[in-house]
Amino acid sequence: MRDQPVSHRVFIERLVIALAVIGVALLLWHLRDLFLLIFGAALVAVILNLVAGPIRARIGVPPPLALAAAVLIVVAAVGTAFWMFGAEVTQQAATIRALVPPAWAALEARLDLWGLGQAMREWTASLQTGGGVVANIGNIAVSIGNGLADALLVIVGGIYLAAQPELYRVGLIKLVPSRGRALAAQAIEASGRALRLWLLGRMVSMAVVGLLTWLGLMIIGVPSALTLGLLAALLEFVPFIGPIVAAVPAILLGFAAGPDKALWVAFLFLAIQQFEGNVLEPLVQQRAVDLPPALLLFALVAGALVFGLSGIILAAPLTVVLYVLVKKLYVQEALDTATPLPGEKTS
C-alpha cells in the first residue's frame, strides 16, 4: 500500500515547526554566555545560603536578616583579609615584579645551554608584533572591563536569588508539565545539595593547599611566599589547570636563585598535589561529590571550547549539577537503576 501524499498544508506546518526548532536552538546557542552568568549567580546564591543557613538555624533570625548578615560576613571577611594581608601582599607583589626580569634572564641563560634560548627569544619577540599580546592591549583592557561587569552582575544576581530562592525554584518547576513536577523538584533538590557539598569540599581543599604552599615556599626561601600561597588557594578552585598556573610564577622566581631552587619549588607543588589528590580529596569526597577525573577533565575542555575562560572557571560546579541530574533523571528514573546521589541518606 502506497503512502498517502503529504498535503501542502501539512508540509508547511512541518516546515514551520522545523524552522522554529532551528531558530530556538540558534537563540539558545547565542545566549549560552547568559546561561553561564545565571549559573554563576546561582553559585553565589548557594555560597550566601551556606553562610546564612547556620545563622537562621542557631540564632533564629528571619531569612532576610540572615541573608543580610551573610552578605556582611562575606564582605567583612574579604575586607579583613585585605586589611591583614594587603600591605604584605602589595609589597610581595612588587617584589615579584622586580624579580621576574632577572628570573626570566636566568631561564633564558639555562635554555641557551640546552639550545632552546633562540627559540624562546623569537617567541617573546613575536608577542610585540601586530598579532601579539602587547599590540592587543586595548582588547585585553576591554575584556577585563567586560569581565568585571559580568562579575558584578553575577554577584547582584546571586543576592537576588539568595533572597527568594523558593520563588525561583517554584517558578522553574512550573515550567515542567504537571506529571513531572514532583520529579523535577527532587532533581533540583539533589543537584542543589550536591553543589553545596562540592563547594564545602573545595573550600577545604583551597585552604589546605594555600597553607601548605605558603609554608613550603617559606621553608625553601622563595620570596613572596604569602602572595603565591594565596594564588595557589584561589586557583585550586579550577581542577587540573589551576595548580599548573599557580606553579608557573613560583618556579620562575625559583630560577632567580638558581635551577636547584626551581626544582625544589616544582617538587613542592607536585608533592602538594599528590597529597591533595591521594589523601585530602578522598577524605573530603566521603562527604562531598566524587566526580570521575576523566569526566572532569573533558568537562574543562568542553567549557573552554564553548564558553572560554568563564567556562573553565565554572566547568567543575556545572559538571557537578549535570552529573547529578543525569544520575537522577536518567539512571534512576529512565533506566530504573539504583545509583547513589551525593548527600543522599541510604538505608
Is the model's pLDDT at 218 over the cut of 80?
Answer: yes
pLDDT at 347: 45
> What percent of the chain shows pLDDT beyond 90?
19
pLDDT band at residue 129 using 50, 70 and 90 as cut-offs: low
pLDDT at 125: 65
What is the CB-side half-sphere exposure of residue 169 using CA atoms within 13 A?
Answer: 17
Is the model's pLDDT at 73 over the cut of 80?
Answer: yes
The lowest-confidence range among 150-159, 223-232, 240-249, 268-277 is 223-232
pLDDT, mean of residues 272-293: 80
Q: What is the pLDDT of residues 38-47, one digit of tens each?
A: 999 999 999 8
> What percent of the chain shows pLDDT beyond 70?
82
Which residue would you say has higher pLDDT here, 124 or 303?
303
Q: What is the pLDDT of residues 182-207, one digit of tens each?
A: 999 999 999 999 999 888 888 889 99
pLDDT, mean of residues 136-146: 61
pLDDT mean across residues, the chain: 81
The lowest-confidence range among 55-59, 106-110, 223-227 is 106-110
Q: What is the pLDDT of residues 250-272, one digit of tens each?
A: 887 777 666 788 889 999 999 99
Is the model's pLDDT at 164 over the cut of 80?
Answer: yes
Domain ranges across the chain: 33-130+145-334
Is the model's pLDDT at 276 over the cut of 60?
Answer: yes
Is the model's pLDDT at 220 over the cut of 80?
Answer: yes
Which residue would you say has higher pLDDT here, 130 or 191?
191
